[in-house]
Amino acid sequence: MRTISVTGGSLAMMLVVVLTLPTRAVTPAVPQLPRPGTVSMSREDQEKLGLQAMAEVYKQMPVLPDSSPITEYVQQLGRKLVTQIPQQYTWPYQFHVVQQKEINAFALPGGPIFINIGTISAAQDEAQLAGVMSHEMSHVYMQHSAKAATSTKRTITEVLGAAAGALGGRVLGGLAQLGAGALILRYSREDEAQADAVGAIIMYKAGYDPVELANFFEVLSKQGGGPPQFLSDHPNPGNRTAAIEKEVRNWPTKPFAHDSESFQSARKQADGVRAYTGQQIADGAKQGLWAKQNMRAGAVPSSVQQDVSTTAQGPALEDVSFEQVRPSSQFTEVHQNGFSISYPANWTTMSGRNSITIAPKGAVGSNAVAYGVIASVAQDPDAGSLDQVAQDLIQNLEQSNPGLRLSGSIRSLDVNGTSARSAELAGNSPLQQNATPLPERDWLVLVPGSGGTFLDLIFIAPERDFAALQPTYKRMIDSLRLE
C-alpha cells in the first residue's frame, strides 16, 4: 500500500486552495411532463369513445359554433397549451364552448374539451382560464378515463355516464340523460391531484404562473351558495394552493403572462352571449332542442355531424295520453345482460350498451322517454353496502339532472327472494302542457346480482298516470329473474 505524507504547510496550502474555489450553484431543473403510462384501451378506442361522447354533447347541450369569436379565442389559447406537450404523447385536442351559465369544464377521451361560458366569465385573467384548460388537458394526457374504465373498481358505464345512455343508446324521460357535462367527470381525488400537477407543468411551459390554477379554485370555493358544478365534478384532493406552491417551489423563476387584451375581449363578449341554466339545458335536451339548434348554427363538427343530424331530424315528444300508451294485459319476455323480465306485448324494446329501454310506441322521442322502464347493469366488485350503492346512484342522478329529487326515503324491497332497494324520485316529464313540463314520478329499483353486479330499473310516467301504470310496473318487477 502506498502512503502519502502531507506536511503541515502542505495541508494548509491545500485547505486554502479548496476554500478559495468558487462554489457551483445548483441550477433549478425545468419541470418535465411525466410519462402518461400505458392502458389496455388502445389509442384508437379512446378517440372513438371520445367522439361518441362528443356527439352526445351536441345533442344535449347548446354549443357555440367554432366561428364564434369566443370559441376562436379559446381555441387559440388551446393551441398555445398543446404545443407544450411532447409530440409522441399528444392527442388531437379540440376546444369548444358550451352556452351554460354554470361554471364547469370537462374533457372527453381522445381530446375533446368543453368550456362553459360561465367559466370564461368567472376567470379573472387569461392565466386562470389557461389553468382550467391545462387541468382538463391533463386528464386526457394521463388517460384517466381509460385507466378508470379498465380498472377493476370502475366500469366504462360509470366513467362515461352510460347509465344515462350517453354511449349506449339509453334515453331517460323526466330524468333526462345525465347532463353532458357529467359524461366524463367522475374523477378520483388522486386523478385530480395528478391533473393539477401535470396542468401546472403545462402552464409553466406556456408562460403562465401555475399558482393561478389554484387561485381559480379559491375564487370558486368562496362563492356564495352551493359549490359550483366544477368543484362537485372535480373533487378537491386537498389543499390545492399549498400542493401547487410546493410543486413549483424549486422550478426556475421566469416572467409570467397573466392577462391579455384577447382574453378581456372574449370575456366581455361572453357576458353578452345568451347562456342557459342547467335546468333549461336539461329541459331542452328532452325535446331534442339542442341537436336542432346546433345543426342550424353550424356548430356541429363534421366528425360527429351524421350522428347529431339523425337526432335533430328525429321526432320530438308531443303530449301523449294514457289511452295511447295503455299496456296490454298480454305479456312477453326479453332476456338481456344476465336478466329476464316480462313486459306488455304492445310495448317495444330498444337495446343499448349494458341497458335496455322498454316503452310504449309514441312515448319515446329523439332524446327522451315519457313512459316506460330503463334497466341497466353495472359491475363494481368493490362496492359498499346495497344502501350505499343506492345512495350513490340517487346522488349521481340528482346532481346530473337539474330538478330531479328523491321523494321520501330509500326502502327495502323483496324481489323474488332477493333483498333489493326501492326509491321514488320526482322530476319533470318531457311532456308539456302550456309550454310547462308536466310533473313526473320515477320509481327506482336496485337489485344486487352476483360478482359485484347490480341491476337498476327506473320506471317512468307522468305523475298524472303513474298510479294507473303502477300495477303493470309491479307485475314487471315480479317477473324479474337474474340469470
- Measure Cα distances from 418 to 78, 145, 314, 448, 473 in Å: 52, 33, 40, 8, 18
Q: Is residue 13 part of a domain?
A: no
Residue from 280, 365, 300, 285 nearest 71 by CA: 300
Of 283, 312, 341, the last residue of a domain is 312
Tell whether 246 is covered by a domain.
Answer: yes
Residues in the chain: 483
pLDDT tens-digit series, residues 398-428:
766 667 889 999 999 999 999 999 999 998 8
Q: Do the domain assignments include residue 194?
A: yes
**Residue 120 confidence (pLDDT):** 96
Buried-state track 170-187, b at ≥16 Cβ within 10 A, e below 16 = bbbbbbbbbbbbbbbbbb
Task: Say whether both 355 and 303 belong to one domain.
Answer: no
Strand-strand pairing, 418-433 and 436-448: antiparallel
Which of 57, 462, 102, 64 is CA-nearest to residue 279? 102
Pair 194, 85 in one domain: yes
Indicate whether 233 belongs to any domain.
yes
Predicted pLDDT of residue 151: 53
Domain termination site, one of 249, 283, 312 = 312
| Structural domain harbouring 164 | 43-312
- Give this prediction's pTM: 0.66
Same domain, 335 and 291: no
Intervals of the chain under pLDDT 70: 1-28, 149-186, 223-238, 311-318, 352-353, 365-367, 380-382, 399-402
Last residue of a domain, one of 294, 312, 330: 312
Is residue 378 situated within a structural domain? yes
Residues 153 and 241 placed together within one structural domain of the fold: yes
Q: In terms of domains, do 339 and 308 share one?
A: no
Residues 93 and 114 in one domain: yes
Do the beta carbons of residue 98 and residue 87 sit within 8 Å? Answer: no
Q: Mark whether 426 and 297 lie in a shared domain.
A: no
Cα separation, 337 vs 114, whole angstroms:
33
Q: How far apart, in whole angstroms, are the C-alpha atoms of residue 398 and residue 178? A: 9
- pLDDT tens per residue across span 250-299: 899 999 999 999 999 999 999 999 999 988 888 788 777 888 899 988 99
The answer to whether residues 303 and 344 belong to one domain is: no
Helix (H, G, I), strand (E, B) or coil at 193: helix
User: How high is the pLDDT of residue 149?
Assistant: 63
pLDDT for the residue 312: 63
Q: What per-residue confidence (pLDDT) applies to 180?
A: 35
∠ CA 281-286-288, rounded to 5°: 90
**Does a structural domain hold residue 33?**
no
176 and 218 housed in the same domain = yes
Q: 360 with 271, same domain?
A: no
Whether 450 maps to a domain, the answer reads yes
